[in-house]
Amino acid sequence: MKQILVIGGTYFAGRVYSILTSRGEAQRDDLHLHLVNRGRYPLKGLDNVSQYVCDRHQADQLPGILPQDMVFDAVVDFCGYEPGDISSIVEALPGRIRQYIFISTSSVYAPGGHTLKTESSPVLTDFDGGTVDDYIRKKALLEEELKASCAAAGIEFTILRPSFIYGPFNYAPRESWYVQQICQGSPIPFPTDASAGFSFVYVMDVADIINLCIADPRAYGQVFNLASPEAQNYGTFMETLKACTDLPVRTYDVTVEQVLERNLPLPFPLDEDELYSGQKVTDTFGYSYTPFLTGMKKTVSVFTNVYKQ
């Protein structure tokens, strides 16, 4: 069994990853996960999963908590958000990490234009003036920290930049918010003049792709976007949503200006594309993304059961 150190691993993408990997349902059946987190959302009864309670910001405690002298084939980091988060892990476990996989975000790309962003598209580097969201700024800085820390320690690195992740357990008020409105019989605002397109990736695809990258030289030193090839907009998203439920879906038309004036909680971009190419994953590993309709049917079913209770 390969030994995998997971930082986080119990919250949405990490939770799905841990469950599927435990069951051998995410491309691999040869991984033992060692989950390190604060213990707020423990996972119980999973095979090949060990759990340790430790705040990552107390990384100096890791050598005394983890199995002594164990060398980890990979670190999978779901919750690196602050400068120093990666370097502290690397420094706490010298000579014990072979590969570091960092879950970043596709939002690190420089905005602008109606273009499909690939891994070679420009990334944000100018953070002066406070115009860049703090979360995005720190993710971009952590990518550079990852490269520097791994180079100094002789560790292979892989960066994954997911687009909008959807699926069961999603705590962000995106697709779950729509299902909640439908279950409550509440009308949903539909922005008739929204021009933006956006990309999704199914959470179970994220789990698959992480495991494809583990201990695979094709992933070393690489950046991968995680994005389904099916571009969406508000119109296609609503069509898919309606196809996934037997409940009536009520909508009312609004303009983008009205959305902004009324501060309506629409979760996707309105007038600037967030479109990303995930083709590099397909070309590298021969991986096929889950069709959006297939993933949404499962997602809507799960959230419908939650909100109808």
pLDDT band at residue 128 under the 50/70/90 scheme: low
Alpha carbons 245 and 112: distance in angstroms, whole number: 35
Question: Phi-psi category of 254—alpha, beta or left, where left has phi over 0 and alpha has psi -120 to 50?
Answer: beta
Does residue 113 carry a pLDDT above 70?
A: no
Q: Residue 54, Cβ neighbours under 10 Å: how many?
A: 18
The pLDDT of 275-296, averaged and rounded, is 98
pLDDT at 89: 98
- Asked if residue 22 has pLDDT above 80, the reply is yes
Mean pLDDT of 265-285: 96
Compute the Cα dihedral for 288, 226, 293, 17 and give only its sign: positive
Q: Classify domain 171-197+232-272+291-307 at the CATH topology level.
A: UDP-galactose 4-epimerase; domain 1 (3.90.25)
pLDDT value at residue 112: 76
Nearest to 107 by CA among 143, 147, 75: 143
- pTM to 2 decimals? 0.96
Domain residue extents for the chain: 2-165+200-226, 171-197+232-272+291-307
241: pLDDT strictly greater than 70: yes
Task: Give the pLDDT of residue 309.
Answer: 63
pLDDT, the chain, mean: 94
Burial class (CB in 10 A: 0-12, 13-18, 19+), 17: buried
Say if 2-165+200-226 and 171-197+232-272+291-307 have the same CATH topology: no
Fold for domain 2-165+200-226?
A: Rossmann fold (3.40.50)
